[in-house]
Structure 1
Amino acid sequence: MKIRVLDIIEQTMADGPGFRTAIYCAGCKHACKGCHNPQSWDFNAGRWMSTDDLLEIVKADDLSDVTFTGGDPFYQVEAFTELARRIKEETTKTIWCWTGFTLEEIQASARLSQLLPYLDVLVDGPFILEQRDTDLLFRGSPNQRIIYLHGEPPSDDIPGTVALEPLR
């Protein structure tokens, strides 16, 4: 499978806790006013990369966990599900994913929800410029939630997180 990739940033510390390999995908229809990455809205931006090639990049960095962002990975959900499944099968890395959809919108869609079992953390919801808060960690407005999808967050809890019962 292939993913339309805008950029890959290795060993970033801005896209989740610790070192991360951030995969920025192309394509987003949310068009949030004040988006920090509006060039990612274009579904034709960037280049196609195979999930095999992306997996090799992820596996080559022993230090970094993984972030899916963009754009919105849920617009390429089948390919991101394949990549996330393989990351989980072949590594011990955690996966954080940013989306403009809410968790409830994702759960209401069989197509979108196929990615959830492979994610550790979902940062959900659209950025709302009028609610912008630069003091928030890993999100731009307080409507966005940092959701630990498989139970309690680690002891070094990040303010503003939500823990769910493990997904089944």
Structure 2
Amino acid sequence: MQYHNITKDDMLNGDGLRVVLWTAGCTHGCRECHNPVTWDPDGGLPFEEEAKQELFEQLEKDYISGITYSGGDPLFPASRECITALAKEIRARFPDKTQWLYTGFEWEEVKNLPVMQYLDVIVDGKFEIDQKDTQLHWKGSANQKVIDVQESLKKQQIVLHDS
């Protein structure tokens, strides 16, 4: 897997103060995407041990609420195995930290992926410029949903995250 950046002390991509991993690779091609540089799956840097340790150092801080996976699309098919392994390791090492993931895929397309057992919240759906609303909480366009993953899996229907 490739990645572009690790943002520290982020307040825009999930609840609380977070660390954000910006992955490479996206095929959705959302018009007016704010991060098209991340579309190329070969762009950025290889996600190796040094980058993982940088994430862990941030997650060890008491004031960091958790990690957010964004991009690109962390569920880009070539990245799924690595994201799943990382989310599993973070859940084991930092069980009290939340894990959020932004994806252009719809819930129905990804709900059965192995990574879901480790995530707390996903924001699903492509960014739609015609539905852009800067007043929305944690999403860019009205078609996207902020989903409580574990409750949705339990109830076998979408349960929205309380914002």
TM exceeding 0.5: yes
TM-score tier, shorter chain, comes to 0.7 to 0.9
Alignment of 1:1-168 (within 5 A): 3-50=1-48, 52-61=49-58, 62=61, 63-64=63-64, 65-75=66-76, 76-91=79-94, 92-107=96-111, 113-151=113-151, 162=160
Pairwise CA distance, 1:59 = 2.3
TM-score (norm 2): 0.85
Question: Identical aligned pairs, as a percentage?
Answer: 35
Quote the RMSD (CA, aligned, Å): 1.6
Asked whether the 8 Å contact 1:66–1:95 carries over to 2, the reply is yes
**Partner amino acid, structure 1, of 2:160:** V
Unaligned segments of structure 2, at least 5 residues: 153-158
**Partner amino acid, structure 2, of 1:58:** L
Pairwise CA distance, 1:44 = 1.6
Pairwise CA distance, 1:66 = 0.2
Q: Which runs of 4+ in 1 moved over 3 A?
A: 52-55
Pairwise CA distance, 1:99 = 0.1
TM-score (norm 1): 0.83
Pairwise CA distance, 1:55 = 3.5
Pairwise CA distance, 1:139 = 0.7
**Aligned residues, how many?**
148
Pairwise CA distance, 1:146 = 0.3
Asked whether the 8 Å contact 1:55–1:86 carries over to 2, the reply is no
Unaligned segments of structure 1, at least 5 residues: 153-160, 164-168
1:137 and 1:46 mapped to 2: Cα distance?
28
| Cross-structure match for 1:155 | none
**Partner amino acid, structure 1, of 2:101:** C
Deviations 1:13-44 (A, max 9, x none): 11112111100001100000011111111112
**Partner amino acid, structure 1, of 2:149:** L
